[in-house]
Amino acid sequence: MTKRLLCGVALLWTATVVRADVFSYSYTGTTLLDQTVTGSGEITATADGGGFYTITALSGTQNGTNTSLASGLNFFFDGSSSWGTFDFLLKGSNYALGFAGGDYADIGGPAASAGTFTITTVPEAATVSLLLTMGLGVWLFGRKLPLKRQL
């Protein structure tokens, strides 16, 4: 029984170490010509430790046009604060978007813009199913325990 438990713990530990993290981002701002800019998408990144991540993939849109990753840069995210830079391609132009403290500045491409920026983690489907399975297991285990009757 103890060997099975240790094997299960080791399997779960290694499964979480080799995963990639997915983040959802969105931003809204205006250009120097007072045009509205909106963008959103997902970033796939690998954890470097200490809240730092290296971007490995990016997909999203800016004003309805698809964007793709130009180069994978690093960013910091700890749940309450974030900052970093990533480069993306939009209609053949390279954009460099820097963000920190809920604000962003787009310093590349044909029209520079600035405004608000948000980034959040996207929970993995495997994590949710694992938590549900664990909850079901605890419930079933609790139902199997004998009740102690008090007189």
CA angle (134 as vertex; 129, 135 as ends), nearest 5: 100
Residue-level pLDDT at 71: 79
Interval 67-78: pLDDT, tens: 988 877 889 998
> Mean of the pLDDT values across residues 6-15?
50
| 130 SS3 class | helix
Distances (CA, A) of 139 to 79, 89, 127, 135: 31, 50, 18, 6
- pLDDT for 18 beyond 60: no
Domain boundaries, the chain: 17-144
For 79-92, the pLDDT digits (tens) are 878 999 888 888 88
Its CATH architecture, for the domain 17-144, is Beta Barrel (2.40)
Q: How far apart are CA 18 and CA 46, in angstroms?
A: 9
At 141, the pLDDT band (50, 70, 90 cuts) reads low
As given in the structure block, the two tokens for residue 28 are 């809204």
Query: What φ, ψ does residue 14 adopt, rounded to 5°?
Result: -70, -30
Q: Which residue has the higher pLDDT, 27 or 74?
A: 27
Pick 115 or 112 by higher pLDDT: 115
**What is the average per-residue pLDDT within 120-130?**
73
Q: What SS3 class is residue 38?
A: strand
